Amino acid sequence: MITSIVNFGRKLFTRLISYERCMHTLTLSCCMGIYIAFSPFVGFHTAMVFLFSWIFALNFAVMLTVSMFINNPWTVMPGYGAGPFFCDPPLFRGGLNHYKWNPSWIISANSWIKSNIGFGGISFWAFMIGGNILGIGLSLGCYPMIKRLLNAAKAEGKKRVVQTVVCSKRAVRKLAAKAQPLLNKVKQRVGKQDVQ
């Protein structure tokens, strides 16, 4: 089963990169998909893919695939939990108590969480700022790596295309060599019929 999943992923990846001619656009589409995956705007990820692909003229399919691959039901909690982790300490060190600025629905949710679960609370602003910082940081940090990976994959694809063309020419030559005696016999028969 793992092998079939890997083969499916390889085929999907190959199809996605074969449709895009510009490596820069393809790399930006992947990085924008990473940002969207870590974006704290829950429920608007697909709308963000539509909007960003239209505004920045990026590859919609690549952005959607990358964002869905990263942000799925198995990774959603660690992804959203990492955002406030990056934002809470700097805000507290700066002397800002961002829990005071929480909207009323977060304050009521925090009181329920504290009484039922025992967890300290959630900061809306730490979630929003931290998610954006994490998404932007990861997308910018992954740009060189993704560009190198896509260039290598594109070069491998070109090499396979060249190998396919060479094999096809070889097969056509063999077929022509095998068909030449048959064609000569047909020409002879047609020539004999024309004479009669």
Give the dihedral sign, CA 43/46/50/52. Answer: positive
Angle at 141 (CA atoms; ends 34, 21), nearest 5 degrees: 65
Rounded mean pLDDT, 91-99: 66
Q: How confident is the model at residue 195 (pLDDT cuts 50, 70, 90)?
A: low
Give the domain ranges of the chain: 2-195
How far apart CA 135 and CA 86 sit, in angstroms, is: 11
Token digits for 146?
């993704």
Q: CA 137, 140, 141: angle at the middle one, nearest 5?
A: 80
CA 73 to CA 55: how far, in whole Å? 28
Q: What are phi and psi of 4, to 5 degrees?
A: -70, -35
Instruction: Please determine, for residue 43, whether its predicted confidence score (pLDDT) is greater than 70.
Output: yes
Handedness of CA 28, 31, 37, 38 (dihedral sign): negative
What pLDDT, on the 0 to 100 scale, is given for residue 2? 67
Angle at 81 between CA 76 and CA 87, to 5 degrees: 140
Percentage of residues in the chain with pLDDT exceeding 90? Answer: 13
Half-sphere exposure for 168 (CA within 13 Å, toward CB): 6
* Residue-level length of the chain: 196
On the question of pLDDT at 149 being above 90, the answer is: no
State both tokens at 173: 């030559």
In this structure, of 6-15, 33-42, 60-69, 70-79, the range with the lowest mean pLDDT score is: 6-15
Percent of the chain with pLDDT over 70: 71
pLDDT value of residue 47: 93
What is the per-residue burial (b if ≥16 Cβ within 10 Å, else e) of 30-46?
bbbbbbbbbbbeeeebe
* Both structure tokens of 102: 């929480």
Average pLDDT value for the chain: 78
Q: Is 80 in contact with 40 (CB distance < 8 Å)?
A: yes
Query: What does the angle CA 25 – CA 27 – CA 33 come to, to the nearest 5 degrees?
Result: 100
Residue 62 pLDDT > 80: yes
